[in-house]
């Protein structure tokens, strides 16, 4: 099963000088061609980098990953997921719920270090990637 990698994991991988468990799992997924990227995650990763060289370096590294198209159905499902979680007292960002929707609609697991996804998973039909 392919894995939609959240911004939190990518950020960790690009910041770390020494690999850790999370980064090693990401590298394994990349080598197995199991990584899925979506445009909103790419945008989050590239946002806020004031240095042009660093921006272009990261942009170049991310070009190896094609974006899975995000559809109207994904946006509608994200809104539905937002409403479900909100009614259960769980808050989240629109991008987080879009990640959940794309994962649910495409039978993907979500690889994240963001603990909010554990809360979403209590109410939504999503699967969190825990490793092989």
- Residues 6+ positions from 49 with CB-CB distance below 8 Å: 55, 58
Query: 66: which residues sit within 8 A by CB, 6+ positions away?
Result: 37
pLDDT in tens, 116-127: 999 999 999 999
Q: How far apart are CA 25 and CA 48, in angstroms?
A: 26
What's this model's pTM, rounded to 2 decimal places?
Answer: 0.94
User: Could you tell me the CA-to-CA distances from 106 to 3, 20, 49, 71, 126 in Å, in that order?
Assistant: 10, 28, 31, 11, 10
Residue with tokens 């080598």: 31
What is the rounded CA–CA span in Å between residue 8 and residue 90?
Answer: 19
Q: Where do we find the tokens 């879009």?
A: 98
Give the start-to-end residue ranges of the domains of the chain: 3-128
DSSP state of 112: -
Q: CATH number of 3-128: 3.20.20.70, 3.20.20.210, 3.20.20.120, 3.40.50.1010?
A: 3.40.50.1010
**DSSP percent split of the chain into helix, strand, coil, nearest 5:** 55, 10, 35
CA-only gyration radius of the chain, Å: 15
Give the pLDDT confidence of 11-61 residue by residue, as tens digits. Answer: 999 887 777 899 999 999 999 999 999 999 999 999 989 999 999 999 999
Query: Do 35 and 5 meet the contact criterion of CB atoms below 8 Å apart?
Result: yes
Whether 131 has a pLDDT exceeding 90, the answer reads no
């Amino acid at each position: 099963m392919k894995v939609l990698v959240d911004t939190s994991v990518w950020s960790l991988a690009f910041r770390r000088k020494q690999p850790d468990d999370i980064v090693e799992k990401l590298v394994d997924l990349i080598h197995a061609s199991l990584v899925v990227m979506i445009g909103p995650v790419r945008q989050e990763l590239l946002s806020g980098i004031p240095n042009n060289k660093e921006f272009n370096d990261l942009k170049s590294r991310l070009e190896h990953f094609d974006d899975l198209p995000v559809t109207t159905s994904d946006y509608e499902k994200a809104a539905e997921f937002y409403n479900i979680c909100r009614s259960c007292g769980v808050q989240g960002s629109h991008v987080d719920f879009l990640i959940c929707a794309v994962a649910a609609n495409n039978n993907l697991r979500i690889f994240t270090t963001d603990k909010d996804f554990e809360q979403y998973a209590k109410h939504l039909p999503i699967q969190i990637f825990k490793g092989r």
